[in-house]
Each structure stands twice: as structure tokens, then as C-alpha cells.
Amino acid sequence: MSTAVLRMARAGRYVVLGNPLTFGAFLMLAGLVTLALFGHWIAPYDPLATAVGPRLAPPSTTHWFGTDHLGRDILSRVIVATRLDLLIAISAVTLSFAAGSAAGASAGFYGGWTERIVTRIVDTIMAFPLFVLAMGIMAAVGTSVMNIVLTVALINFPSYARIARAEVNVRRNAGYVEAARLAGNTPRRILAVHIYPNCLPTLIVQASMNMGWAILSAAGLSFIGLGVRPPTAEWGIMVSDGSAFMMSGEWWVSTFPGIALMLAVLSFNLMGDGLRDLIDPRRRS
């Protein structure tokens, strides 16, 4: 057991040192998680308090990222928004991971009607441009954090279902599955204990790559007014708030939350790339 951990650690060190991008992404993610957990204490001002400084003040030593049209401190708002954005993305990805991989795995294993139903659902979702579908759903069900999570989970469902189905399908007739049947395992146990754990690495990589996209979807919905409501601190809304002032030269209102959003998405994607390399060296580019 300890040798396995040691091997993993050695492989991890190899990938991290041989791949500074992944290492950078890892550090950035660690920073984001810290902000998400302790942002409320780190933030220099109350993110919701108005007129903590002059309105639309440019970045300065007292307000590093400047202030917005209500005189709120943008740095504090960017920091505090991390928790909400990550929370939405992680909940949505967890949900679609669980539901999508369970449905896909059953489809790939049982075939027949189960497979037909799952592939029809997946095809139906994929028939829409996914973001437009999300917009439609949010417009219909109303804006709340719960609804954002469910909607983002729904539009990510197909990717997990498809991967799980394909991964289970190639293993369905593997020798160790036949052996498990000979050993008296029930079909459900074979799927849950013998096949599914072997599909996890691919699914985890997908989840990590998907996380950035989930953040972007959530922020995008908020940006167009179908997500989190103001005055909540959230990157998408902040970019949207600031967009009105871009033309008049107050660039900092949109730019800093936009950069935060970009960095979060970028680091999740780079992390996903690194994980994929770690798990499947053959696809290393």
C-alpha cells in the first residue's frame, strides 16, 4: 500500500516538475480555494457596503482594484465572490458527475432499454446549443443559486454519461468481468465494484476539465441577468455591472473580476490537462 502511495507521489513529482504549467495551475487553485474558504476575513472591506470609498475611483493604495459605481471596494468583492463561484461550479460538476456517470455506466453495462433511454436523453440535451438551453431553463424556472447549480449540472450531464457509457462498454466483456461472474458476483455488484472503479480516472479528468467550463457557464448566466442577483458579489454580475462604464474609461470595474474569472477557468483547465497526463501518459502532448 505504501509503495503504491510512494509511486503515485513520485509520478506526481515528475509531472509537476516536468510540467511547470500544471504546477502553476495547482498553486493557483490552492490560492483560489484559500480565498473561497477565508475570503471573508481576507477581504479589506465589507463587499456589500456601499460608499466605502469615492464612486468609481481608479485603483489606488487604499482600493487596489478601485471602486464601482456604488463606491464598493472591488478587491473585496472579487475575493468574496470566489466562494460563490467555486461553490456553484463544484456542486454542479459533482451533481452531473454522479448522475451522468451512473446513468452512462448503467447504459453501457445493461444495454437494451436502459441504453436507449439514456442515449435519447443525452441526444436531446445535446441537440440544443448548451448555453442557450441553460438560458432558456433559467428564464423558465427563475433565478436562484439552486437553480443555477441544477441547470449547469444538466447541461454537463451528457459529457459524463457518454464517457461513462463508453468506458463501461469496453470493459463489459473483459476477462476480469467474466471471472467476477464465475466468482458469484451479481450483475449490479460487477458494475459497481469491478467495472466502475476502473472508469474513474477518465471521469475525474473530465470533471477537472469541466470545472472551468462550469464556472464560465454560471458567470455567463449571471452576466446576462439570468443567474445570481445583485448585489451579491459574483464575478459574472460584476463584469456585467462594469460593462456600462467601459466606454467612459472606468475599465477597472469589469477588468478585475474578469481576470479572476479567466484565471480560475484557466487553472482548472491546465489542472485537467496535467491530471490527464498523469493518468494516461499515452495522450501526453
**Residues near other proteins, by CB under 8 A:** 1, 3-4, 174-176, 178-187, 194, 197-198
| Backbone Cα Rg of the chain | 22
Length of the chain: 285
Cβ at position 203, least distance to other proteins in Å: 14
- Of 191 and 215, the one with the shorter C-beta distance to other proteins is 191
Measured distance CA(90)–CA(80) in Å, rounded: 16
> Nearest distance from residue 167's CB to other proteins, in Å?
13
Residue 108 near residue 229 (C-beta atoms within 8 A)? no
How many helices and strands, by DSSP H and E, does the chain display? 11, 0
Nearer residue to other proteins within complex by CB, 38 or 176 = 176
Smaller CB separation from other proteins, 4 or 140: 4
Smallest gap from Cβ 124 to other proteins, in A, equals: 25
Minimum CB separation from other proteins for residue 166, in Å?
18
* Dist CA 235 CA 80 (whole Å): 10
Closer Cβ to other proteins, 201 or 225, answer by number: 201
Cα torsion 238, 244, 248, 252 to 10°: value is 10
Closer CB to other proteins, 143 or 185, in the complex? 185
Please state the closest distance from residue 177 (CB atom) to other proteins, in A: 8
CA 13 to CA 52: how far, in whole Å?
45
